[in-house]
Structures are given as structure tokens and as C-alpha cells.
Structure 1
Amino acid sequence: MEKVAISLAGVEQHRAHFRLGPIDLDIPEGYVTAIIGPNGSGKSSTFRLLLDLSKPDAGQMSILGHPVGQGDDRSWKRQIGYLQEESDYLDNSIRGSEKATFIRKWYAEWDVNLYQDLLRRFEVDDSIKLGKMSKGMRRKFELALVIAHKPKLLLLDEPSSGLDPIAWRSMIDILHRYMEPGDRTILMASHIIDEVRRLADYIVFMARGQILGKYEKDELFERWHVLYVPAANDSDRGKLLTMPGVIEVELAGVGMYRIVSEDAPQTEEALQAAQFTIGSRQAMQLDEILQVLMQRGVYA
């Protein structure tokens, strides 16, 4: 049975113009889980709750087996590396090396060789003041900073924001290497589809403060398909809607139906049993699946 790195149970946060939750979600240890959703869906708010930077109005949370918001949290927070979406402007006047010197004092596991190696790979000069770094260079420096103490858990909020394609590929490789020991965990929020496909083991869809569903990535792409089926008459639409896995059925030209299925193998089996011909099929993209889940309005 998989160990759980992060657990949220009935978590809610109420604000004047936004409500988060209730959220019930377990993040497995030893894997990369990506949260995707539109801006304002609650991803960053969830990270802040997990780090006890803001308080929930209901529910319980735990990280690495420790309850969030109770007692002395210094020991388990030292096992976390957090990359927030926006850089802290309060650090603009200090040099990267000065911030690194300050940060390393808090972490017994700080690895100066790893830190220097990450700077070399990212081509970052930490003698520059943070406010003088480009957005991409600042992002690379901050990523090196959160990995250098070899945390058990990385919380990454839009990690590739501002990175050029070469730096992006380096980041992907660095995060793959970070996961090599097997007992480390990444929870990331990202809107970059290729990033999610290359890194994530699990995908969580989120919108309007709600979890729409959590899926194992490979199974998700195997099951969610669009099928095109020739239909003889309008009454066929009703038959198609009753088949297992079918979410949507719509006309896609004369005599052709477009079927969205969340369980393509079962849908195809049912279509064949009912003597429908499958004209073509294609796997759905993550943004297409998110749109369907939002339209359906069924929250897991």
C-alpha cells in the first residue's frame, strides 16, 4: 500500500470572494503529482495552507506524517522545499550568495556542492543582487536554493515560470534526478502541458476551489479518448449516451457523432456489441479533459 506524503481531509477556506474546498486529497510518497487548473482555481491557496502560512476554516492536513498547524513544526518544515509562484520583492536588495548563506543556516542537510553544481548547470551567478536578475535567472536561482538541502518533499508553484527552453529542459532533468532516491515527493502546480506529461505520475484537476478528480497519468491518457462513430439516424445519439464511459455525444458533421469517453476500452466494447463502427479515435489532451470535467460539474 502506498505511503501518503500529504493528506487533506475536509479542508475548507472561506474568503469574501472565493471559497476553497471542501478538499479531500491524498498525495502518494515517492511520486510526482501535478495539479492543473485555470488561474484562480485555488492551487496557490492550497500550498499556503499546507505550509501553515494561512489557516483553514475546516478540516485537517498532514505532511510527512505530521499534523499541520499543531505544535512545533520546525523539524518537518526542514524536510520541505517550497518554490512560490512569485519571487519575494523584499529580497531584491541582497545578493544571491547572501540569501544562500542565510538559508543554509536553517538546514543541517544543506549540500554546498549540490548548490554550486545547480548554479553551474543553470548558468546562474549568485553574486548578482536578486533584484537585478532577470525573471528566468531568479527562478533558476530559487530552484537551486530549494533543492540544495535535499528535502523529502518539494512544493513547486509554477516552477518553469520565466524559463527559456534550454533552462526548462535542465529543470526537467534536475527534477528527474531529484526523484532518483525513490522516497522523495513532488507536488507541483503547472499549466505547461508538456511539463506535466514529462514529470507527473499523478494528475489532479482543480477548478473553482474544488478537486475535479485525481488520476494516474498513464491510465488517464489510455482511457480518455474522443471516438468518431458514423450514425444512421438521430435516435442513435440516445443509444450512444447510455454506453459505459460516455460523457458527451455531439454531431461532428453529417452522419457522424463525436463521443467523449472517460473509459475508452469499455466504450469501444459496447459500441462493437451494438454493431457501431468506430471511424477514428484520438487521445484527449489535459486541457480538453479539464474542460470536460468543469462542464460536467461532477467533483470527486
Structure 2
Amino acid sequence: MNNDEAVIRLTEVEQSRAHFKLGPLNLNVPKGYVTAIVGPNGSGKSSTFRLLLDLAKADRGSMEMFGEPVGRDDVKLKQRVGYLPDDSLSEEDSLRGSERAAFTKIWYPGWDVNRYTELLNLFEVNPDLKLGKMSKGMRRKFELTLALSHDPELLLLDEPSSGLDPLAWKKMIEVLHHYMEQGNRTILMATHIIDEVRRLADYIVFLVNGRALGVYEKDELFSSWHIFYVQDERSVYELLSGIPGIRAKEKAGGGVIKVITNKAMDAEKWLQKEGIKITGRTPMELDEIMASLIDNDRLRMRQS
């Protein structure tokens, strides 16, 4: 990740509330890529977006977008951003979609009515309906349309597929792929949909209990995190502590030991060199990787 090309920079950002602390967060979001923030509910994903948009204030640390400090109420800076929040505003329920769009376009000189109409047709959204009368999926598609219609340089998407049926989800993926084709646009998204991460993300940030547990290049992450099953014989269990990238090991029964590593290629070579028989090997899914990171983080916190 080239930090010089970061569209977003968070440096030692903290926000403390009565029952939750976010941070300290250090994060650089690279220009021209899709970065996905994944983590359990309540881990701080939505709070991070609100801080970036100056909808809430950090207690300490610094934030930048496009090289400019966040927090100066800079309208021109926000005009470069499209935002899809996790929750719709109930205060807007009485507005028709067309009325909401008319209000939105006032704030964006780059509003493209043709793009707006194209997306409405693609998503099969009726803008004459009141927002409160739209289904959750239709309202989601309408709000995504609003976020895209002024041709933003940066998209902040908080659980973008929430409420979408499989066909609408596929259309959304295609729209976001098309959005990224120019090469100079950036997406920061929060999601818990594994297939969404696989289809869209270039980088993955694991955010748990308000803290980032790491930033990973997606393809490298999935190729390096594997589970090995090895034959339990001699003093293999103790020897396995030396396997490259070891994150966990346990006896799985039936004369087999289960080993988790984040350096799969090196681990396989090491096992072969040590003469340890591999009985099985499985690449890990995103939720399994996150669970392993959380377990290791809890252990580290207890030890410290």
C-alpha cells in the first residue's frame, strides 16, 4: 500500500464514549482501490465513517481526506465524497424520492441527471414513492443512486448491500466495478458479506472492539492463511511451535493435529523439511481468519 497515494489518513484517532472506545486508529486508504473494513457488529465501523464526514468529533488524533484536514466544515471537500450510511433517516420518510434528489443535487455541482436516471432505471426504483413507503431494498438502491449521481472521487459505503435481494446485489456489484474502472476513484466500505469482500475489495481492514487488528492485501491474505492437518506422532505437537506463521494448534482427534498459519507456503516447506506428514490442507475463509485474529488479540491483551 503506497502511503503517498492515500486518499484517507487516520493517525492515532480516538473517540471515547460511555460504553465504547474507538482507537487509537492508524489507517491509510490508498487511492484507486477498494478497501473493506470487516468486523463484528459494534466494532466501530459506522463510528469511523461519521468521524471522517465530521458528523462526530474525535477526542484526539488527526484525520485527512485528499490531503486536507477533516473537521473544518469544508463543503468542497465533502462534495468529492459519496456517502451511503448504514441506517436511513426516519426524518426523511415523508419525502418522495424525487424531492430528496432535488434537495441533494443543490449541494453537488457535479450532479449528473442522466446518471441519476440511468441508475434509477437499472435498480428499478420509483422516485415518486415516499421514502417511508419504499421497501428496505428499494430505499437502499435509491440512496446508493444518490451517493453515485454526483460522480464522487471517494465512496464511503456502510453495509451497502443491507436489504438487497440477490439480483439487486449483483447489479450493485456491477455498478461499483464500473465506478472503479477509471482508476482514480476509491471506495472505503464496511461489510460483513464475505462474497462482497471477495468480489470487490483490494485491501481488508479487520476492526474489532474499536481497534484495527491489521490491514491486508486481499489476495495475499487468502493465499497465506491456511489450516494444515498433520499426523500426530512422535513429539510433533511440541515441534509444531516452530512452524512459520503459526497462529494456533490443537489436537483434532483421530491422530491428527490442526495447525493454523498465516504463512502457508513457508509452513508447507517447513513441514516437508521436518518430515511431518500432511494429511490435509484447507484455505481459510474470511470469518475464520477474523476469528483467529480475535483469539490471538484476546490472548495478547491477557498477557499484557
Give yes or no for TM over 0.5: yes
Partner of 1:25: 27
Whole-angstrom CA distance in 1 between matches of 2:241 and 2:249: 6
Whole-angstrom CA distance in 1 between matches of 2:105 and 2:242: 59
Partner of 1:208: 209
Partner of 2:168: 167
Percent identity, please: 56
Partner of 2:56: 54
Contact kept, 8 Å, 2:236 with 2:276, in 1: the verdict is: no
Where do residues 212-227 of structure 1 align in structure 2 (5 Å cutoff)?
212-227=213-228
Contact kept, 8 Å, 1:241 with 1:247, in 2: the verdict is: no
Q: 1:57-88 deviations in whole A, cap 9, x for unaligned?
A: 11001011111113x51111000001000001
Q: 1:71-117 deviations in whole A, cap 9, x for unaligned?
A: x5111100000100000111111100011011111111111000000
Where do residues 246-285 of structure 1 align in structure 2 (5 Å cutoff)?
246-285=246-285
Give the deviation of 1:247 after TM superposition.
1.0
Asked if residue 290 in structure 1 is aligned to residue 290 in structure 2, the reply is yes
Partner of 1:138: 139
Q: Which amino acid in 1 is paired with 2:239?
A: K
Partner of 1:86: 87
Q: 1:129-186 deviations in whole A, cap 9, x for unaligned?
A: 1111000000000000000001000000000000001000000000000001100000
Contact kept, 8 Å, 1:94 with 1:129, in 2: the verdict is: yes
Contact kept, 8 Å, 1:228 with 1:279, in 2: the verdict is: yes
4+ runs of 1 displaced by more than 4 Å? none
Give the deviation of 1:238 after TM superposition.
1.4
Structure 1 unaligned spans of 5+: none
Whole-angstrom CA distance in 1 between matches of 2:74 and 2:121: 33
Partner of 2:236: 236
Whole-angstrom CA distance in 2 between matches of 1:243 and 1:285: 21
DSSP 3-state at the match of 2:266: helix
Normalization by structure 1: what TM-score?
0.97
Partner of 1:37: 39
Q: Which amino acid in 2 is paired with 1:263?
A: K
Q: 1:168-212 deviations in whole A, cap 9, x for unaligned?
A: 000000000000110000000001111111010001111110001
Asked if residue 177 in structure 1 is aligned to residue 178 in structure 2, the reply is yes
Q: Which amino acid in 2 is paired with 1:192?
A: I
Structure 2 unaligned spans of 5+: none
DSSP 3-state at the match of 2:275: coil
Please report the RMSD computed on the Cα atoms of aligned residues, expressed in angstroms: 1.1
Normalization by structure 2: what TM-score?
0.96
Whole-angstrom CA distance in 1 between matches of 2:248 and 2:95: 55
Contact kept, 8 Å, 1:20 with 1:210, in 2: the verdict is: yes
Q: Which amino acid in 1 is paired with 2:48?
A: T
Give the deviation of 1:254 after TM superposition.
2.2
DSSP 3-state at the match of 2:49: helix
Whole-angstrom CA distance in 2 between matches of 1:257 and 1:271: 13
Partner of 1:118: 119
Give the deviation of 1:22 after TM superposition.
0.4
Whole-angstrom CA distance in 1 between matches of 2:247 and 2:105: 51
